[in-house]
Structure 1
Amino acid sequence: MTFIYVQDEKQLKKWVDAIYLNHNSWDDYSYRLTFDATYVDSAGKPHALGQVKVAFLGVREGTLLLQGNTQKLSDAHYSLGQSQSYYETIRELPNAVGKRILNAMRDIVLDEARYKRVEDDEAFRVSLMRYLDMRKIESFRSILKGADINSSYAFAYSTEIGELFSLSVHPDSLPATNLHALIGRNGVGKTTLLANLAHAACTKPDELFLHPEYGRFDSEEPDSLFGNVVSVSYSAFDNFKVPTADGFERELLIPYDYIGLRLIKENRLKTRDELIDELISCLKVCLFSSRKEAWEQSLQILSHDPVFRRLPLAELADLNTEEEVERYRDVLSEMSTGHQIVLLSISRLVELVQDRTLVLYDEPECHLHPPLLASLIRAISNLLKQRNGVAIIATHSPVALQEVPQNCAWLIDRQEELRARPMDIETFGENVGYLTQRVFELEMRESSYYATIDEIVRRKNVRTIDDVVNALDGHLGGEGKAIAIALLTAKEHDLL
């Protein structure tokens, strides 16, 4: 097994049956031990393994470990993959190649004796385990054994005035409980709430104590509740503060990723070309790793939309090299904005979601027509169920609400303080019109056709349903007539 230290993807060609380690600029308290690993098999096909941290006993801060090519790492070296997909991709390689890679990498998940040797090493504690805990290590070992790592978990979120909501996830539930919806009118504070959820999940306890406005998560879990946090928002007007945008590299409790239109560090919106570049890069990761099957399943769900069904996207799964993905740039560029956003969103989620990922999706209905929104919600829910993740979506769309069961739906409103109330009706598969009426009844009365009917009924000369219909020149549907009759009855009894 050959190790090649590279500095860009173009060098992934010369050697086969080789592990390419591309040094990542990430700095763990001056330790620079992070690499992006790719295995190129004997046929020249790349397999994106993901991030791995490599150290050796007694390594000094700032030491760059690998340069040039080497046939093996020394016995003093040790490594630890940083994600679920790293070990899944390695496990799925044929002909015991995965075990060869882990042995060559001096992996401490496979080699428990090596783990015992290095567990007190400073680099191991400070860098390799920065975002991991023993529960994660055990889940990685289970993955290598082919075991199911999905499990039930529950948590509550509280603000300064008390508990706002409590959620639970059960891997075998039907309908799925991995996706929860917060629904409410515009301006009630849903976007701010999602931003606070991200901060509460990612901020270390001693710092969180100084920011009560973020709220807090409570759980009976002995270790970190979430594995990582992913925020998704495609509104061009959002300017919420993300956990990594404080002007310096904050020390986060768990990793945070943002999916959307903003370039956070540059404080600007991405161009259309930059969004396509992001999609191409993401597809390369998904198609040449263990994420491929999840991506194909997600695309199959999205293909209920006629546009997705017509596009040759399924062909991507048959490609053998990353260069071939580039040939689809024109196809991807010609998609509508809504379809590009859906494909980028689900592809990035396939890339990032792992065991106990918390996904925070703000208004997924942005840019989407109702059937495509429903397909996106289903695809996300399916992915989360496979990966044991959980999503909280903030929405004002009853189409999104009808995709989740009652025990996963919360009505958000605000009087003096933000409140969350469990929905008092079953929401899964419920009629959109009925859900709209139950959630937005007051707003509808004040601003929709309801207000027009109410104004007509209040006229002194209007006494019957025919009077109402005539006042509208005959333009009144069945629901409108029912509303008019109810209002006329109230008027007759001096209740209007």
Structure 2
Amino acid sequence: MGNENLEESKGLDFKIYFVMDDIKFHPASLPAIVFSPVEDSWNDFRYKCRYKYLITFGDHRENIEGQVFLGFLSVDKNIDDSGRISLESNMVEAHELPPFFTLQGGMESYRHFVREHGAKDSELFLLALNDLVASRRVAKRSKLVEEAMKTDVFSLAFMRDSERFFAFHNADSVLDGLEREDFSRISTNLSLTYEIAGYHEHHHLDLKFDTDSILPKRISVLIGRNGLGKSQALYNIVRSLIKGDGLFSDHELGRPMISRLLAIATPGETVNTFPPERANKRIKYRRLILNRGARSKPSRGFCDLCVQLVRSEEFIGEHDRWELFKESVKFFPKIENVVIPLSKAVSVQAGHVIKDKGKHYVPLLKLDQGGEQANLEVLGAVISNANPMLYIDGDVFPLSSGQLAFIKFVVQACLFVENGTLVLLDEPETHLHPNFVSSFVRVLDRLLKLSGSISIIATHSAYFVREVTRTQVLVFKEGEGGQLNIQNPRLKTFGADVGAISYFVFEDEITNALVEDILEQFPESLESRRSLLKELDEELSADVVMYLRRKLNMEEKSEGN
């Protein structure tokens, strides 16, 4: 129902019923809202809050159906220990029960509601459902909201899931219209405290983001040599968000304002760094593989991910996810030549399907094209675990590991990111050519900006460091006495020379191994040393020469003393 029905809807006085079996119940008075508990084993700390609802008008308007999370301000004989109704008869009217309140499942649930019914009517119907997000916007409903927030069912069940927690605090902007959704409310001042073997003291790092900046300040980069705890930091972030132990926290709110968690890496690093996906009710967590993986689940194969993306009816704000994907990969080299293999031919006319040497392919960017039957057949014929190919001048070529890593990252990010997502990436440079890094960060930052999300990257690559400002870089260095220092660099990193960044970050750790033997062979006299250094200057890089000069100067001062 659109906005044109608002005036007609304002006069509605809904009769509200709670029933055990909605199929056998027909409201005696219309218009009506009928709630019935969802029959499944799901619970949060014993609370069973999932309810189906039906809004029925009894006239030319279509019924509205959906699911909500529903709780009561108190308990009585009609409500059991799980907080669910337990009626002796099949039906009871709402006024016979304690006051109730509801919440939709997440940001997309509120967006879907507004897309279906318009902003004004959506607010009207949500208020009729005693929705807490809508009720927070109405002064007369403030007592209901305050009392609901004091209940155990709200704190233990409603707020256990991060998507509902995020929606409760953020979905009010959606009710003003999808074009006015606020994408800047994710946590931007976070800290992590954790420990790793070999260090007596806990590691501690502070992460700051700016979701409104014209610079890529939605991304933080962790860099340093192996063994200092970068990957462990990502692991502990995941573990803390899953367990809710508070080790990863918001400086102001305590609990991080994060709705979803995506952990992306190469196959080996993903298994080593990120905990496996398990049934988890605290946060929606996905562990994703960045490059080709023969053992990936069928539903996680690249081509199947593309089909999921084409068929997705979800948006990121106002942006259709498939259109967002096509926009994001438009500067991928020869993207128009990237094709997806099909298991069979299409029985109807489909001019965009390519037949070559008895095999069939569809261009990636045309996966959504064709008539209804042709499109359904094409999507049904896609080989789930296949990887994309390049079709050039009648020949088919595989993508390089770097190309595949890049394009698979884009499809997964566009499919799974949501407003308020934290995206973790462990060593994404493993299969990325340095030339791809700028494009990779550009796409990532754009998706983060459009979805109101943030990202943390653990890397050894100076190419990632040069893509962000120094405030977004945390350098891991081992100090004297085995202490670990984690701090922002003094060097202005954004657009800086890669060699300068590498030298600053790794210093002696790289150069020392290369030139220690050379140093041992330097002559004793200062003049001979200078002569040899001048001779080597034509053969060695500027970083190595600088290192040698510094080491020799230190030795000269020592001799002088």
In the superposition, the TM-score normalised over structure 2's length comes to 0.61
Worse overlay, 296-305 or 363-372? 296-305
Matched with 2:489 is 423
Residue 143 of structure 1 aligns with an amino acid whose one-letter code is V
Contact 1:182 1:411 in 2 (8 A): yes
Report the Cα distance in structure 1 between the residues aligned to 2:441 and 2:119, rounded to whole angstroms. 37
Counterpart residue identity of residue 504, structure 2: R
Conservation of the 8 A alpha-carbon contact between 1:83 and 1:354: no
2:106 equivalent to 1:83: yes
1:232 aligns with 2:264: yes
1:125 to 1:481, Cα distance in 2 relative to 1, 3 A: closer
1:375 match: 439
The residue that corresponds to 1:257 in the other structure is 286
Distance in 1 (CA, whole Å) between partners of 2:68 and 2:407 is: 30
Check if 1:177 corresponds to 2:177: no
Quote how far apart the aligned CAs of 1:137 are: 2.1
Looking at structure 2, the residues matched to 273 and 470 of structure 1 have their Cα atoms a distance apart, in angstroms, of: 60
Please state whether the residue corresponding to 1:412 is helix, strand or coil: strand
Mapped contact 1:465–1:484 kept (Cα < 8 A): no
Among 392, 404, 409, the alignment partner of 2:468 is 404
Aligned to 2:161: 131
Over the matched positions of the two proteins, sequence identity in percent amounts to 21
Query: Aligned partners of 1:232 and 1:23: how far apart in 2?
Result: 35
Cα deviation, 1:94-129, whole Å, max 9, x if unaligned, reads: 988994997799583676499959958987765554
Post-superposition offset of 1:423 = 0.9
1:145 matched to 2:168: no
Deviations 1:428-476 (A, max 9, x none): 111111111111121222234x55764665598994788568789x755
Q: Name 2:365's counterpart in structure 1.
A: 314
Q: CA deviation at 1:349?
A: 2.8
| CA-CA distance at 1:256 after TM superposition | 2.7
Q: Within 5 A, what are the aligned runs for 1:210-229?
A: 215-221=247-253, 224-229=256-261
User: Residue 449 of structure 2 corresponds to which residue in structure 1?
Assistant: 385
Task: Give the Å deviation of 1:393.
Answer: 0.9
- Secondary structure at the residue paired with 1:186? coil
Question: Structure 1 residues 405 and 331, CA, compared in 2 at 3 Å: closer, same or farther?
Answer: same
Q: Is the Cα–Cα contact under 8 Å of residues 79 and 108 in structure 1 kept in the other structure?
A: yes
Asked whether the equivalents of residues 398 and 436 of structure 1 are also in contact (C-alpha less than 8 Å), the reply is yes
Which letter does structure 1 place at the counterpart of 2:388? L
TM-score (norm 1): 0.68
The answer on whether the counterparts of 1:170 and 1:178 sit within 8 Å (CA) in structure 2 is yes
Other structure's SS at 1:407 match = helix
SS of 2:275's equivalent in the other structure is: coil
3-state SS, counterpart of residue 287 of structure 2: strand
Tell me if structure 1 keeps the 8 A contact 2:470–2:491.
yes
What displacement does 1:400 show? 0.6
Structure number with greater Rg is 2
Instruction: Note closer, same or farther for the CA distance 1:123–1:441 as it changes in structure 2 (3 Å cut).
Output: closer
- Kindly report the root-mean-square deviation, in angstroms, between the aligned alpha carbons of the 2 structures: 5.0
What displacement does 1:477 show?
5.6
Counterpart of 1:442?
Answer: 508
Cα distance in structure 2, aligned partners of 1:125 and 1:201: 17
5+ long unaligned stretches in structure 1: 2-21, 37-50, 65-73, 209-214, 263-267
Matches within 5 A, 1:87-126: 87-92=110-115, 99=122, 108=131, 112=135, 116=144, 119=148
Q: Distance in 2 between matches of 1:417 and 1:491?
A: 26
Query: Which position in structure 1 is the counterpart of 2:193?
Result: 158
Partner of 1:289: 314
Tell me whether 347-356 or 385-394 shows the greater mean CA deviation: 347-356
C-alpha change, 1:86 and 1:465, in structure 2 (3 Å) is farther
Task: Tell whether the 8 Å contact from 1:135 to 1:223 is kept in structure 2 after alignment.
Answer: no
- 8 Å Cα contact 1:155/1:219 also seen in 2: yes
Name the count of aligned residue pairs: 435
- Residues 217/283 of structure 1: CA separation in 2 closer, same or farther (3 Å cut): same
Per the alignment, residue 327 of structure 2 pairs with 300
Cα separation, 2, equivalents of 1:273 and 1:338: 22
Asked whether the equivalents of residues 153 and 168 of structure 1 are also in contact (C-alpha less than 8 Å), the reply is yes
Measured in 1, the distance between the counterparts of 2:376 and 2:41 equals: 23
One-letter identity of the residue aligned with 2:266: Y
Q: Is the 8 A contact 1:456 1:468 kept in 2?
A: no
Query: In the aligned structure 1, how far is the partner of 2:40 from the partner of 2:430?
Result: 34
